[in-house]
Amino acid sequence: MEFLALPLGLLVGLSLGVLGAGGSILIVPMLVYVLGFEPKAAITTSLVVVGLVSLGGMVTHWRAGRVRVGTGIAFGLAGILGSLGGSYLNRAVDSNILLLAFAGLMLVAAWAMVRNREAQPSVPASTSATGGRIGVLAAARVEPALAAKVVVAGSTVGFITGFFGIGGGFVIVPALSVVLGLTMQQAAGTSLLVIAINVAIALGPRLGGEALPWEVIVLFTVAGLVGAVVGSGIAGKVRSELLARSFAGLIVVIAIYTVVRTIIAL
């Protein structure tokens, strides 16, 4: 069954590369319902895959000038406590409750993906107050309210990553584009840096506690990296709104399936 990680990883990578969000939310249900993982083991495995795939996709975006390193680091550091808190809380929650909560998060993510594509900022990042030359840290000194928004958004994303084992790009991308004024392309690229930082932090409490399924991780990651590189390369050449709607529909279907399977298992 491990070979199925290849097409599944490719799908995840394409989504991360094109949209900068959404793909990682499919990894946990894929691991649980297709590859037979226990939910909490699936979340830990998902974290490793998401982190590696995000780094791979980020390289292509960075070469194209679509990654704001300072902004990404600031946003990622804001999520440290959330990532750690989510990781520790995950251990205390029943697996069935975890899956039901995950299904609810999937529905929120699907709605957010569609909504975010309909509310893209019209102000170019190079001329916005926070996305331009001074950067997010300098802007935060001038505008304390902005710093508060970054901390709240960063902490929320960190918790989502630590608790659910996903990247949280559906929160990061709108925060970077709407709040901080980055273009959607820059937000997608920078979100991958934020995800990588959050994953590294969230993995800390989990390392050493269980053996990782490296065969699945390698297959999933290699396929995901290929998909992420291809996706990021065509990010500016496809109608992302249509892709986002289609992908959101897929997420809704999987969320419903997750709820039904979990209720039956109770």
Task: Provide the CA 77 distance to its chain's centre, in angstroms.
Answer: 16
* Cβ 251 vs Cβ 106: under 8 Å: yes
Q: Mean pLDDT, to the nearest integer, of 216-245?
A: 79
What is residue 120's predicted lDDT score, i.e. its pLDDT?
A: 53
| SS3 category, 52 | helix
**How long, in residues, is the chain?**
266
Cα distances (angstroms) measured from residue 55 to each of 20, 197, 228, 252: 12, 10, 9, 27
**How many C-beta neighbours within 10 Å does residue 241 have?**
14
Alpha helices by DSSP H, the chain:
5-19, 27-33, 39-63, 69-77, 80-92, 95-118, 135-142, 144-164, 169-174, 184-203, 214-233, 240-265
Range with lowest mean pLDDT among 26-40, 137-151, 167-181, 186-200: 137-151
pLDDT at 131 over 50: no
pLDDT at 135 over 80: no
The whole-chain average pLDDT of the chain stands at: 81
R_g (Cα) of the chain, nearest Å: 17
pLDDT at 26 over 90: no
Of residues 77, 187, 76, 174, the one with CA closest to residue 131: 187
What confidence tens digit (pLDDT) does each residue in 112-123 have? 877 766 555 444
| SS3 category, 26 | helix
- Rounded CA-CA distance 182/123 in Å is 8
* Residue 246 one-letter amino acid: S
What confidence tens digit (pLDDT) does each residue in 30-46 have? 999 999 999 989 999 99
What is residue 253's predicted lDDT score, i.e. its pLDDT?
A: 93
Of residues 61, 72, 26, 59, the one with CA closest to residue 175: 72
Q: Which two tokens stand for residue 207?
A: 């390392």
- Rounded CA-CA distance 215/205 in Å is 22
pLDDT at 65 over 50: yes
* Residue 266 one-letter amino acid: L
- Rounded CA-CA distance 188/108 in Å is 19
* Residue 86 one-letter amino acid: G
pLDDT tier, 127 (very low <50, low <70, confident <90, very high otherwise)? very low
pLDDT at 186 over 80: yes
Q: Which two tokens stand for residue 132?
A: 């331009």
* Cβ 226 vs Cβ 12: under 8 Å: no
What is residue 21's predicted lDDT score, i.e. its pLDDT?
A: 62
What is residue 163's predicted lDDT score, i.e. its pLDDT?
A: 92
pLDDT at 197 over 50: yes
What confidence tens digit (pLDDT) does each residue in 238-258 have? 666 777 787 788 889 999 999
